Chains A and B, each alone.
Chain A
Amino acid sequence: SQQGEEDPQALSIQEGENATMNCSYKTSINNLQWYRQNSGRGLVHLILIRSNEREKHSGRLRVTLDTSKKSSSLLITASRAADTASYFCATRTTDSWGKFQFGAGTQVVVTP
């Protein structure tokens, strides 16, 4: 199974609403990152939160990390139609390989 698992799998909201998605992971991590993928495109890095941080903001994005529960959440405030995309969490293992492993993603649809 994948290191990161997002919840929900899909989310449909109206413009102006907030979108919240969650990610759970299994092993110790150096950091957790969130990426966005528009249809037919590659993933784009959004935000990184280190294992010793609890919350981070970037524009309309807010990320939290709870290492005791091995979970993270991504909040997009005041969503726009352009936020329609799939969102993935990625964890990097603390072993010597430092592999990036991605969750299954949350598909977000924002309707005008």
Chain B
Amino acid sequence: ETGVTQTPRHLVMGMTNKKSLKCEQHLGHNAMYWYKQSAKKPLELMFVYSLEERVENNSVPSRFSPECPNSSHLFLHLHTLQPEDSALYLCASSWEDGRADTQYFGPGTRLTVL
């Protein structure tokens, strides 16, 4: 595997389900990100992890819970979601060394909440 991978690619869940999105980067990067892309809206940053520590949480509802066990893996745990949470969830990674470093994205997980 190369680059940034995400699983599953598609997910349909009910509002009472619990599921997790997985992201893995094979680029040797030290920072990882979750973004949400809803229809007709710009991408929204959800979470940032640098060196496995969360550095930013853009007021995301608690029904989204991130986990970064090591610098290569990032999870987004989902529970009791709402239909408006249906979106494309994109993971990204970058090597942070004090510059505006490029973020590389995975293919995304398309989530539908029924």
Q: Do A and B come from one complex?
A: no
